[in-house]
Structures are given as structure tokens and as C-alpha cells.
Chain A
Amino acid sequence: MTRRRLRTFALALVGLLAVAVLWEFYKLVGPQRGGEIFGWGILPRANDNVMPHVWDMFARYTEPDRRGSETRIWQTVLGGGWFTFRLAFLGFAIGAVVGVGLAVLMARFRVVERGLLPYLVVSQTVPLIALAPLVVSWGGRVQVGDFVWPRWLSASVLGAFLAFFPVAVGTLRGLKSSPPAALELMDSYAASWRSSLFKLRFPAAVPQIVPALRLAATASVVGVVVAEISTGLQGGIGRLVIEYARQATSDPAKVYTAVFGAALVGLGMAGIVALLDKLLMRGRPPTEPDIVMGATT
């Protein structure tokens, strides 16, 4: 088992290294001023302003984030990443709860499914950047009792907005995937809808829910980062990306420090879902979702 894990880890490293090598290889052989293929300018410029060296990008991490500042860039990026991670996690949690709730409703009442599902699909075609300023303007205005809506919560809500959809669709599909024989068995026990939901449908849905959650995890990161960029929320990785992008004229490598930070946040969220996966799938054979009967007896 540990050997296999070591192998996976090593392969992941090799994969990353391969990308870096490919990047540097293109820099070596690619046209400095860009190039055309059949009249299409699709070959990117290989010069240092457009494609900085990989080692330059990583060297930036040890530099101070501003002249004379004690804070190194890696600290700033990690700080921003942690901020974004927390917002994304909240968005993911809200999205997962809402998604599962909607799926249960839709599985219970066909009429809800027929009426609601089209709207869910439509909701995902609304561009996030159109929604962001609207949701952000709730900040400081929406007030329920003593609770005043903070600006950052808007970013989480936008993350949740992207995250709930795959969860709702995946869970719905999962809830409807119980084997007919098992459902008939529950019926023959005169089981209530609720107990068949918890004892049969949910366990049977896990193989569909987990990949949906994985999609939701990364979607929530995208949602939060885009919300940060489009609304200028201070403190997160999205804001850093755009702040550093403004300095691309003279320091192109710096942008990548923040971009990698965003990737790290995504990896972190995916890692959490992987753990959840382990937890939910424990005691199951890895590739036999049909054996749910075992879990219910």
C-alpha cells in the first residue's frame, strides 16, 4: 500500500517536472518573436517577457513582496491562499448542502424535478461576472437581526452558486440509481420513504455523489477566485493574481507565483474531497457500486 502511494506521489512529481521541461524546451527552440503556421499567429513568443523561466517563477517566492518589506512573496501567496481556501470551503459546504437538499426534493417529488431542473440548468448559464456585482452589493446592506452581511460572504455565495449544481445533478442521479430489487425489498418491509432514503438510497448514491463533490470543490475555488477578481475583495489569491498581473510589464514571473497559489488552493479542496471519499467509501470494494445491499443489511 505505501509502495503504491509512493509510486503515485513520484508519478505526480514526474508529471509536474515534465510540464516544466516542456515549457523550458519550447523556450529553447520556440521563436523569440512568435511565429505563424499557415498564416495563423498561434506560436507563442518564447522570450523571457512572455514566457519567464520556471526557475525565475520559483525564485520570486523568496523575494520580499515589496521593497523593504519583511514579508516574502511565499508568505503573501500562502496567506492569500488560506483566505481563499476558507471562503471556497464555506462556498463548497453551502453548495453541497443546497445541492443535496435539492436532489432529495427532486427525488421525492417528480413534479419538483420537472419544474426545477430546467431552472438549475439555466442558472449555470448566467455568467458569474454578471452576477458578482449584484451579490457583492448585498455586503453591508442585507441585515437580519444583528447579522450584517459581510462583503467576503458574497464571494463564498458565488462559489456555492457554482458548486451546488454538480452536487444536485450527481446526487439526484445517485438517489435514483438504487437497484429495483432493493427498492422492492424496502417496500416489502413497508419502509417509510425516509428510512429507505437513509438506509438505501443515500448509500447507493455515494459513488455518484463523490465525483460530483469533486467537481463542486474545484468549482467553488473558481467561483471564489473569479468573485475576488471581479469585485476586488482584498486578502485572497484572486486579488493577488490581478495585482501581480498589473506588474507583468516589468516582472512577468511574479504573476505565476499567485497563479500557482490558486492551483494550490484547488489541490487543497480536491484533497479534502479525496479524504471524504475514503470516509464514505470505507468498507466497500473499490469498483462494485452494486453491492449496496451489503451496506443495508
Chain B
Amino acid sequence: MRNTIRTRGRSRLTIATAGLAALSLVVAACGGDDDAAVPAVDDVVEDIEDAVDDAVDAVDDVVDDIEDAVDDIVDDAGDDAGECETVDSVTLQLQWFVQAQFGGYYAAISEGMYDDYCLDVTIAEGGVDIVPQQQLADGAVDFAIAWVPKALQSREAGADIVNIAQIFERSGTLQVSFVEAGITTPEDFEGKRVGNWGFGNEYEVFAAITEAGLDPATDVEHVQQQFDMVALLEGDIDAAQAMTYNEYAQVLEAINPETGELYQPEDFNVISYEEVGVGMLQDAIWADAQKLVDDAEYRDIAVRFVAASIEGWAFCRDNPEACATIVTDAGSQLGESHQLWMMNEVNKLIWPAASDIGITDQAAWDRTVEIAQNTANLEGATVLAEAPSPDAFTNDIVTEALALAQDRGVDTGGSGFSPIEVELREGGE
């Protein structure tokens, strides 16, 4: 196919060149009759020859381009034909807009991991009112990323979904306060204005308060928090809820009016709920439970999807800068240093993975369920009324996926992982 095009292109070119050359000879010959006109005719002939040269060059370029394009197509077709009998289309629902929090999935697209596993993955970004596990339960998407407590809540309400890969091993939720407020442990929340985001994001805060022996209803003043950190900086909140990978960076990107420089980590006390012992499991891949049982093809796709995603996350672990760039190219408006910070912090939540990335740790699961069942918020509501059935998560899919990825030489434990140092700039730029 490629050769046919080349030959055909070349032969047409030859004919065209020959034709023009003949024409110029004729012109030259005609010019011979009138001596005075000869120089002029010569000029014309030269012009024509130049033009022909230019045209030949241009045609050559086009031919080259076509050849390149054909090469690409042939290569792609070769890959597909060589390894994939069919390519399966998969849609993944995120919890929020494209950002480094989801770097592994974007990397698996742009670095070709999904291609390698014969998958064509479309990522559906989240929005303010998109509930990923609901989109999954409605059948609008094939897989969804969701925090475990919220997904379990939907599951209790009837969504037939199952956690097939616990990507984030650790919770990234913090409570950040100025050093002057003297809040170093949850016990210090007493009598303070403590911010939380509500909408099911507040349970770690309430669990920490309860664990500290305080009554969430009377001992602490709760403040509903926006998704920025202005309230903390303006002094409306003593301790603000923050994710390591996002809101905490936001305060470190802001100018401290007293020094004229950026706020420094030393300016803040940070309580990590993971360290306090009330961390709840966060980003996990959820799948349609019924389809996983009934539909062998869907199950097979799930294994390949998890395997490729794991490879994407491994890529982001080893190439945080490249991964941050991939996410930015996918349309994220976050600044460069903020994006890299997020990538690095997300890596810390995943790596090193004690029992390989994606494996749900029974103890962490039980702790999450325990808090979800026993911690009441201000309205007295708990996330879960009763414990979820044991089939709310499965390690079967991810175990098969890990074997696939390991066969391809991917390090799925990341025991040698060490985070990079990211310097935040003003506004996260």
C-alpha cells in the first residue's frame, strides 16, 4: 500500500517534470527565430525552470508527508492487528475536573498503556453536581473513581457497585491552622472554629473530634467551608479542612501580608487524619457489581483497565514532571507548580504501596466502615446505617491485574519510592 502510493506519486511527478522540460525546450526553440528575443526567452525559460524546481520540491514535501502519515497508519494498524483482536471502549467517571489527582489515568491514555491492553478509554470529568458512583450505577459509565465512604453510602441506598481497586492507600485530609492558634492535636479543637466541607466530606473531622473525647455538638464551633482557603487566611476559621494535594498548597501559594513573602509551612500547624488514626479510604476504582458477575467480557475489561491504570500510576510515580504536564495538556487550568505539587502529594498517598497498588487492606477498610457507621455528624446522621456486605470490595480483579502488570515488568509496590521536592510559586504558577 505504502509502496503503491510512493510509485504512483513519483511517476506522476516524473511525467509532470518531463512535460514541463519539453515545454521549455519548445519555448527555447521557438525563441531561436528571433535573435533579439532570445535573452528574454532565456529568462522566461529560467523562470519556468525555477518554478518547476519549486513545484517539484513542494510535491516532494507533500509526498513525504503522505508517506509519514501512511507509515503512522500502517504502524497503528500493525499494533492493533498484532496484539488486539478488538479494542474495547471504556468510559471512566472522575470525581472532579482533570487534575493531577487523576494523573495515572491520563498518563495511561497518553503513554499508551490502555492501547497496550486493547482499551479505548474516554474520561468523563466530574463537576459540582456529578456523583460518580451514581453515574456508574445508572450505567452512564463503565467505571468510576470515588471515595469509599461516599460510595458505600450510595451502595447502601441501592447502587449495586463494588470497589475493584483501592488506588489511594492513605487519606490526604488535613486540618490546617495558624501556629498562633496552638492547635496541634484534635483535643485542641475544643472551643475553636473548625471548618469542614460538609456533603459527606466531614466525617474524618467528626471522628477525630469524637476520638479526642469531645462532643462534636457542643465543644466545637463548626463552620461550613468553601473550596478555597480564604476563610482561614481571613481569620473566619481557626482550623480549616484541606487536602494535602490541593488546599494546603493553596495557602502556601498565598502572600503573607506581614512578610510580603509566601506563607511558609512553619506558619501553620497541620493535623493529618491519617496519622491521628481516623483516616478513611479515598480514591478507589468502582465497577458495576452485577455486570462483573454476569458478563465475562466486562470482567475481562475490568482486569485490563485496572492493570493499565496501575501502569499509568507507576509512570506518574517515576515521572512526576511528565505526568503533571500530561494533566495540564489535558485541559487543567491549575498552575504549573500547583499541578506538580499535587502530583507529588498524590504519589505520597499511593506509594510505597504496602501490599501493591490497588489492593484493599482489610484493616483500613474496617476502620473506614467503623467510622462511617459510628461517627455521627451534627444532625446525628452516620454515613452508614449498617456494615456493608463483605462483597462491597474485591481484591480478585486487582490481583489478576497486578499479575498482568508485573509480567510486563512494572514495579507495583514502589518500595523504593521517594517523593520529589516541589517549590510552590505565588498563585501556584
Contacts and interface: CB of A to CB of B under 8 A. Distances in A.
A250 B250 contact: yes
B332 to A, nearest CB: 8
B138 A137 contact: yes
A65 B129 contact: no
Nearest to B253: A250
A232 B328 contact: no
Contacts of B124: 139, 151
A133 B235 CA distance: 35
Interface string B227-271: 111100111000000000001001101110000000000000000
A231 interface: yes
B230 A240 contact: no
B126 to A, nearest CB: 5
B36 interface: no
Interface stretch (B2-10, B26-34, B314-322, B420-428): B420-428
Given A66-B429, A243-B97, A45 B331 contact: no
A116 interface: no
Interface string A241-266: 01111111111101000000000000
B96 interface: yes
A132 B129 contact: yes
Contacts, number: 108
A130 to B, nearest CB: 8
A143 B229 CA distance: 43
A100 interface: no
Contact of B230 (A49, A139, A235, A243): A49
A232 B253 contact: no
Nearest to B229: A249
- Give chain A's interface residue range (CB within 8 Å of chain B): 35 or more
A132 B131 CA distance: 11
A133 B130 contact: yes
Given A66-B333, A66-B429, A67-B425, A242 B128 contact: yes
B127 interface: yes
Interface string A102-139: 00000000000000000000000000011011001101
A170 B196 CA distance: 45
A39 interface: no
A246 B230 contact: no
B127 A230 contact: yes
A240 B234 CA distance: 24
B254 A249 contact: yes
Scoring B128, B129, B254, B429 by chain A CB atoms within 10 A of each residue's CB, the highest score goes to B129
A234 B337 CA distance: 22
B391 to A, nearest CB: 26
Interface string A34-68: 00000000000100011000000000000001111
Nearest to A255: B228
A240 B331 CA distance: 11
A263 B395 CA distance: 50
Contacts of B333: 65-66, 240, 243-244
Nearest to A245: B228
A244 B427 CA distance: 11
A293 interface: no
Nearest to A132: B129
B135 A137 contact: yes
B92 interface: no
Contacts of B129: 129-130, 132-133, 230-231
Interface in B106-130: 122, 124-130
Nearest to B232: A249
A233 interface: yes
A250 B97 contact: no
A45 B427 contact: no
B163 to A, nearest CB: 21
A250 B140 contact: no
A271 interface: no
Scoring B228, B253, B333, B427 by chain A CB atoms within 10 A of each residue's CB, the highest score goes to B333
A250 B127 contact: no
Contact of B426 (A137, A235, A250): A250
Contact of A234 (B98, B334, B428): B98
Contacts of B413: none
Given A232-B96, A247-B335, A133 B135 contact: yes
Scoring A65, A229, A246, A249 by chain B CB atoms within 10 A of each residue's CB, the highest score goes to A249
Contacts of A234: 97-98, 125, 331
Nearest to B255: A250
Nearest to A41: B236
A151 B254 CA distance: 36
A56 B111 CA distance: 40
Contacts of A136: 127, 130
19 contacts: A49-B233, A68-B336, A137-B138, A141-B139, A151-B124, A228-B127, A229-B127, A232-B127, A232-B128, A234-B98, A235-B331, A243-B97, A246-B250, A247-B228, A247-B335, A249-B251, A250-B250, A250-B426, A250-B428
Nearest 5 Cβ contacts at the A-B interface: A232-B127, A230-B129, A137-B140, A243-B333, A249-B250
Interface of A: 33, 45, 49-50, 65-68, 129-130, 132-133, 136-137, 139-141, 151, 228-235, 239-240, 242-252, 254
Interface of B: 91, 96-98, 122, 124-131, 134-135, 138-140, 227-230, 233-235, 247, 250-251, 253-255, 328, 331, 333-337, 425-429
Given A234-B98, A247-B427, 4 more contacts: A49-B233, A140-B122, A248-B228, A249-B254
